[in-house]
Chains A and B, each alone.
Chain A
């Protein structure tokens, strides 16, 4: 049924029943010209009771496919192909006709729950609205709405449904809101739920519970799920079939075990080789090249740091006495969810914030208590790599000037020497001199982050604070950036403080780790210790949230991305 596309199609465990959703040769062109499509020739099927995941990086066209299926594209976008839902062609259905399907038969769970509920209406009103629109017989009695809603919220795991119903969206957490949205989606008893990155705006421990909820509801109600995600390991853990998309074309389509174990396209192989949770020892070999820690004192020591924001009733204790240290030439990870205080701690270490109490020792100097002039000198040894390379580089500067700026500020060398150093640094991060005259906005995310690394390294710092340096980047680019950082550690004996919420990356990249929760260090130790034997409930929950590389691939080809 999908053979005409010429795409690599894996062996499908086809059932005899007719598919619920069949997409055939879907082609979408935003410019209106079907010869230059954004998405081309996409075909797949979703059978009743099945979960199908569409996996792809940003720009791969996965959201476009979903929007085409849900008919959410602008009217001037050209679309070709077929979408059959329950045996009925829907792509060319009139909007009025399709509206009867949307919501009622095809439910939708959005990416960011906080942006998807009306902030000025109470939760119960928004649920009742779904009841009203559905036109289902069980929702005929308006008086029964409240009881229905209570039952509904209970079934999606909201602990105090009565209170939640009377709340406004801002009074509930992101996880609760996502549960409510899933509840609204299933309230109309749809046969298919489309979930567009349903967990990427949520904390890791909550991600798992939301996905578990989707799985449970799917089993209870016989739903089919179309899951959109950028995370291949999550897709393979949660779905029966996987569609791998790249630049609008299917790279791979088949059962998830099949795709994971016997990928047929180079792209999928590279992807599998770069997903952190599938390659926990990716950097082990490189890391063994590092010289043994020679210095007798740690590169960075943080002792009993306290920080409280606000005053009076609105006090928030962001840090309650956190301590750790990093050996020179090693990587220490700081792990925790949003609000755990890890960013506050990073800012204190860089002295962008003053701590209330405590010490931050870098090269024997207490950064937390230095005078302004000494601080300026100390910062030469202590630089920061930002999370988002799209906002951390001045858009009006050219690459050469961005990398040279720290040298100019500290008056290092002559102009010619600085120029030489800049091009040397570019080489170190795997870019060539042709980038010197380009502006940051002309570069891709990965290239920008490389420029940011070169800039951070220009003063030859000893300690680099990495604030979620890859969370704004795609998996393959993330692997490349981590490789660059690992290589640099070998070469320059750098010490890293690696801040992350992604435990599988931490497992790959770091040597030691501190787990932060609500401003307290819950657990600390080597990565192997913590991961194999977590002693704390919170740590255990964090580790459980890593998508299980269920069927640990027997012979994953080690596609080591060249760092250049």
Chain B
């Protein structure tokens, strides 16, 4: 009478570790991001070497206890350069995402909320931006503004405006049809009050998730610009610049490229994982 169906129980046990595995990914991703942020804020805590001063007789040393990622052609510690390069990578990516998020949100919100002619005009603008490959757009912007880290950030930010705008436009369209928005008009709200008081706060969650994802893409794009020489000039410590510099010695001293490359890849993968857990709501 009190017999248990056995099959269901067995499956119930199986589903538990699968769940924790996903949590573990998120945990690892969060740890990686924390380390990267710590590098950016207090690089001096993680390495005693200087990122700029090289010891000539110690050039091209393989990774070892003394030089975690080895040394480059000037005898500079590659690990120190990666750690000190984090700050500019994170900062420029933040600026880029900030620009994309702000401009994109504004365009998307206005287009979705007001609709009709406004949407038609802004919608075509978004289409045009989407039609140009993001990286090409970034190169065009940075070439016309001049080579500098800040300009690279602006360029990458500009290239992500359309992505943000498209998402927020669709979110705004969804939210503005909900009864609580109509209710806000009925209790005396005007368009602007409803837009910023009700529509904007309710589009936040998905925007946040996209922001994290775009942060990773911005890191890649900014490094790519630096690799092509559109970022800060040498001898700055910069991930993209390091890869560009190391490519000349790739065959014999591969760590010059791999060390910053792997750090970059791990950072971006971690950001992707975080984006997933945010948009799934954990």
**Which A positions have Cβ atoms within 8 angstroms of B?**
24-25, 32, 34, 75-82, 91-92, 350, 352, 376, 379-380, 383-384, 386, 388, 391-396, 405-406, 409-410, 455, 458-459
Confirm or deny: B2 has a beta carbon within 8 angstroms of a beta carbon on chain A: yes
How far in angstroms is the closest Cβ of chain B from A39? 15
Check if A391 sits within 8 Å of B180, measured CB to CB: yes
23 sample A-B contacts, Cβ–Cβ < 8 Å, listed by A number: A32-B8, A75-B8, A76-B12, A76-B15, A78-B8, A78-B9, A78-B12, A80-B4, A92-B3, A92-B5, A350-B186, A383-B186, A384-B186, A391-B179, A391-B180, A392-B180, A392-B183, A393-B183, A396-B198, A406-B187, A406-B188, A455-B183, A455-B187
How far in angstroms is the closest Cβ of chain A from B143? 42
Q: CA of A94 to CA of B201 in the docked complex: distance in angstroms?
A: 50
Could you tell me which residues of chain B, from 195 to 211, have a CB within 8 Å of some CB in chain A? 198, 201-202, 204
Closest 7 CB pairs of A and B: A409-B188, A406-B187, A32-B12, A392-B179, A396-B201, A76-B12, A394-B180
Confirm or deny: B280 has a beta carbon within 8 angstroms of a beta carbon on chain A: no
How far in angstroms is the closest Cβ of chain A from B201? 4
Check if A91 sits within 8 Å of B5, measured CB to CB: yes
Which residues of chain A have C-beta atoms less than 8 A from B7's C-beta?
75
How far in angstroms is the closest Cβ of chain A from B197? 8
Which residues of chain B have C-beta atoms less than 8 A from A393's C-beta?
180, 183
How far in angstroms is the closest Cβ of chain B from A117? 28
B170-197: CB near A (< 8 Å → 1, else 0) gives 0000000011101111111100010000
Q: Which residue of B lies closest to A92 (CB)?
A: B5
B19-59: CB near A (< 8 Å → 1, else 0) gives 00000000000000000000000000000000000000000
Check if B198 sits within 8 Å of A75, measured CB to CB: no
Q: CA of A82 to CA of B3 in the docked complex: distance in angstroms?
A: 9
Size of chain B's interface in residues, with CB distance under 8 A? 27
Which residues of chain A have C-beta atoms less than 8 A from B183's C-beta?
384, 386, 392-393, 455
Given A80-B2, A82-B1, A394-B180, the answer on whether A32 and B187 have CB atoms closer than 8 Å is: no
Q: Which residue of B lies closest to A452 (CB)?
A: B183
Q: CA of A241 to CA of B193 in the docked complex: distance in angstroms?
A: 55
How far in angstroms is the closest Cβ of chain B from A222? 31
Check if B188 sits within 8 Å of A376, measured CB to CB: yes
Q: Which residue of A lies closest to B9 (CB)?
A: A78
Which residues of chain B have C-beta atoms less than 8 A from A352's C-beta?
182, 185-186
Confirm or deny: B11 has a beta carbon within 8 angstroms of a beta carbon on chain A: yes
Given A75-B8, A77-B8, A78-B4, the answer on whether A410 and B188 have CB atoms closer than 8 Å is: yes
Check if B187 sits within 8 Å of A405, measured CB to CB: yes
Which residues of chain A have C-beta atoms less than 8 A from B185's C-beta?
352
Q: CA of A396 to CA of B205 in the docked complex: distance in angstroms?
A: 11
Which of A24, A75, A77, A459 is in CB contact (< 8 Å) with B187? A459
Q: CA of A91 to CA of B7 in the docked complex: distance in angstroms?
A: 12
Which residues of chain A have C-beta atoms less than 8 A from B1's C-beta?
24-25, 81-82
Check if B198 sits within 8 Å of A394, measured CB to CB: yes
Which of B2, B188, B198 is in CB contact (< 8 Å) with A379? B188
**Which B positions have Cβ atoms within 8 angstroms of A?**
1-5, 7-9, 11-12, 15, 178-180, 182-189, 193, 198, 201-202, 204
Which of A25, A78, A395, A405 is in CB contact (< 8 Å) with B5? A78
How far in angstroms is the closest Cβ of chain B from A349? 12
Which residues of chain B have C-beta atoms less than 8 A from A394's C-beta?
180, 184, 198, 201-202
Q: CA of A350 to CA of B182 in the docked complex: distance in angstroms?
A: 11
Q: CA of A376 to CA of B184 in the docked complex: distance in angstroms?
A: 12
How far in angstroms is the closest Cβ of chain B from A389? 9
Given A350-B186, A383-B186, A459-B187, the answer on whether A388 and B8 have CB atoms closer than 8 Å is: no
Which of A76, A80, A91, A459 is in CB contact (< 8 Å) with B11? A76
Which residues of chain B have C-beta atoms less than 8 A from A91's C-beta?
5
Which residues of chain B have C-beta atoms less than 8 A from A78's C-beta?
4-5, 8-9, 12
Check if B188 sits within 8 Å of A391, measured CB to CB: no
Given A405-B187, A409-B188, the answer on whether A388 and B5 have CB atoms closer than 8 Å is: no
Q: Which residue of A lies closest to B205 (CB)?
A: A396
How far in angstroms is the closest Cβ of chain B from A452? 8
Which residues of chain A have C-beta atoms less than 8 A from B180's C-beta?
391-395
Q: Which of A34, A379, A405, A455 gathers the greatest number of chain B CB atoms within 10 Å?
A: A405
Q: Which residue of A lies closest to B14 (CB)?
A: A76
Q: Which residue of A lies closest to B185 (CB)?
A: A352
Q: CA of A394 to CA of B189 in the docked complex: distance in angstroms?
A: 14
Which residues of chain A have C-beta atoms less than 8 A from B2's C-beta?
80
Which residues of chain B have C-beta atoms less than 8 A from A34's C-beta?
4
Q: CA of A37 to CA of B45 in the docked complex: distance in angstroms?
A: 53
Which residues of chain A have C-beta atoms less than 8 A from B201's C-beta?
394, 396
Q: CA of A92 to CA of B1 in the docked complex: distance in angstroms?
A: 12
Which residues of chain B have C-beta atoms less than 8 A from A376's C-beta?
188
Which residues of chain B have C-beta atoms less than 8 A from A409's C-beta?
187-189, 193
Q: Which residue of B lies closest to A79 (CB)?
A: B5
Which residues of chain A have C-beta atoms less than 8 A from B15's C-beta?
76
Q: CA of A32 to CA of B14 in the docked complex: distance in angstroms?
A: 12
Q: CA of A366 to CA of B202 in the docked complex: distance in angstroms?
A: 35
Q: CA of A362 to CA of B181 in the docked complex: distance in angstroms?
A: 24
How far in angstroms is the closest Cβ of chain B from A85? 16
Q: Which residue of B lies closest to A347 (CB)?
A: B182
How far in angstroms is the closest Cβ of chain A from B152? 35
How far in angstroms is the closest Cβ of chain A from B210? 18
Q: CA of A458 to CA of B188 in the docked complex: distance in angstroms?
A: 12
Check if A76 sits within 8 Å of B5, measured CB to CB: no
Q: CA of A396 to CA of B178 in the docked complex: distance in angstroms?
A: 13
Q: CA of A406 to CA of B8 in the docked complex: distance in angstroms?
A: 52
Which residues of chain B have C-beta atoms less than 8 A from A392's C-beta?
179-180, 183
How far in angstroms is the closest Cβ of chain B from A73? 8
Q: CA of A168 to CA of B207 in the docked complex: distance in angstroms?
A: 40
How far in angstroms is the closest Cβ of chain B from A294? 27
Given A78-B5, A80-B4, A379-B188, the answer on whether A386 and B11 have CB atoms closer than 8 Å is: no
12 more A-B residue pairs beyond the given contacts A76-B12, A77-B8, A409-B187, with a C-beta to C-beta distance below 8 A: A32-B8, A379-B187, A388-B179, A391-B178, A391-B179, A393-B183, A394-B184, A396-B201, A396-B202, A405-B184, A409-B188, A459-B188
Which residues of chain A have C-beta atoms less than 8 A from B9's C-beta?
32, 78
Q: CA of A379 to CA of B185 in the docked complex: distance in angstroms?
A: 10
Which residues of chain B have C-beta atoms less than 8 A from A395's C-beta?
180, 202
How far in angstroms is the closest Cβ of chain A from B205? 10
Q: Which residue of B lies closest to A383 (CB)?
A: B186
Q: Which residue of B lies closest to A81 (CB)?
A: B1
How far in angstroms is the closest Cβ of chain A from B272? 27
Check if A386 sits within 8 Å of B187, measured CB to CB: no
Q: CA of A350 to CA of B187 in the docked complex: distance in angstroms?
A: 11
Which residues of chain A have C-beta atoms less than 8 A from B202's C-beta?
394-396
Which residues of chain B have C-beta atoms less than 8 A from A350's C-beta?
186
How far in angstroms is the closest Cβ of chain B from A411? 9
Q: CA of A405 to CA of B8 in the docked complex: distance in angstroms?
A: 50
Q: CA of A25 to CA of B201 in the docked complex: distance in angstroms?
A: 48
Q: CA of A394 to CA of B175 in the docked complex: distance in angstroms?
A: 10
Q: CA of A396 to CA of B198 in the docked complex: distance in angstroms?
A: 8
